[in-house]
Amino acid sequence: MFDSLAHLNTAPVTLALGALPLGLLLFRYLRPAPRLTQIPPTQERVLILGSTSGVGRTLAHQYAKRGARICLVGRRESMLQEAAEECRKLCESDRVLCVRGDCASVEDMAKVRDAVIKEWGGIDTLIITAGVSALQPLMTVAGVTASKDGLSLPHATAEATNRAVSVAKTAIHGNFFGPYVAAITFIPLLTSCSTSPSILLLSSVAAIIPAPTRTLYASTKSASLILFQALAIEHPRISFVSFLPATIEGDFRASAVDTPPGSSPVIHEADPNKHGLRREVVATRCIQAIDRKEKTVLMPQYMRIGHILYWIWPAYVEWRARVKYNFRENPLESSQMDKWTL
């Protein structure tokens, strides 16, 4: 009996099983975006926190082109007005609102909430792109430099440790308390006034794949990411999108919080303006993820492989991260690991 079954042609079954994942992917990406049937683009009310530069500013442009009503929020008044004028050239001027404010300020966010309620009666979409960068190894921030052989480290002084704590508080203020205050301020408003409320948090792939020279940045981004993933469970009526891109072009690193006063930031990786993701591409993908009510987006997509590989072969991923950021604590490590070079 079993011999006769062995002669059956299993090719169709194999092909069907192989095609199933592809079919699911095609269905996911080709089906109409479900949110667009609930809120047409011209009726969408979008609040962008951190819209004076980078991806936030580009998102404002793209939403203006779609005909949405947009509220721009940023700390720098002159750049905020510039961004607002750019948007007004792309849509009807009365559809653009701008409010100066710091995302981590309770008073400022309450002022923004009052403004959107007065003008629009609420919001449908909250996008959080505001944040700060940090570019140095933690011991460098604490004034600790390794010996030439990389085998010993001097003790950090109390003064240097206090400075490192101060830098960390600044990073936490921008990357954690900003999203934290925004969530508390706007979740009730989204829940009560939108037929399809959505929140997108622009995080970083560094929040889930550790990177050298990014200790403060990665840890604070990871904290806000977990915060919003937990909030997604607590508030199922709201569609939460966690957007985790790799390095993006732009001057985001110019204001790194761990750069000593009067100094220029030290960038360890390849020039992000040559090798980073393009702002327009990232912004387009953000809007697509909101429209499709996606949960977690990594960009480029192959970063998912890196995330999985980190749990399977962490030593390799850690080595590749050191290579990307030109980081060598121990000079002997290079000769031991270079045989893994791809």
| Domain tally, the chain | 1
pTM (2 decimals)?
Answer: 0.85
SS3 172: helix
Asked whether the beta carbons of 85 and 93 are under 8 A apart, the reply is no
Residue 12 lies in a domain: no
pLDDT of 64 above 70: yes
Domain membership flag for residue 97 = yes
What tokens does 83 get? 């961004």
Rounded distance between C-alpha atoms, residue 148 and residue 157, angstroms: 20
Is 261 within the bounds of a domain? Answer: yes
Tens digits of residue pLDDT in 228-269: 999 999 999 999 999 999 989 877 666 788 777 656 666 666
Tell me the one-letter amino acid at 113. Answer: R
3 within some domain: no
Residue 180 belongs to a domain: yes
Q: Kindly report, residue by residue over 274-301, the tens digit of the pLDDT.
A: 778 999 999 999 999 999 999 999 999 9
Please report whether residue 130 resides in a domain: yes
> Residue 159: inside a domain, yes or no?
yes
Supply the CATH number for residue 203's domain.
3.40.50.720
Please list the alpha-helical segments (H only) found in the chain.
2-6, 11-30, 34-38, 54-66, 77-88, 106-120, 138-141, 158-172, 178-193, 215-234, 272-275, 279-292, 303-312, 314-324, 332-337
Cβ(327)–Cβ(212) below 8 Å: yes
Structural domain range at position 244:
33-312
Ranking 43-57, 141-155, 255-269 by mean pLDDT, the lowest is 255-269
Asked whether residue 260 is assigned to any structural domain, the reply reads: yes
Report the C-alpha dihedral over residues 171, 172, 176, 177, rounded to 10 degrees. Answer: -110
Between the two ends of the chain, the Cα-to-Cα distance in Å is: 50
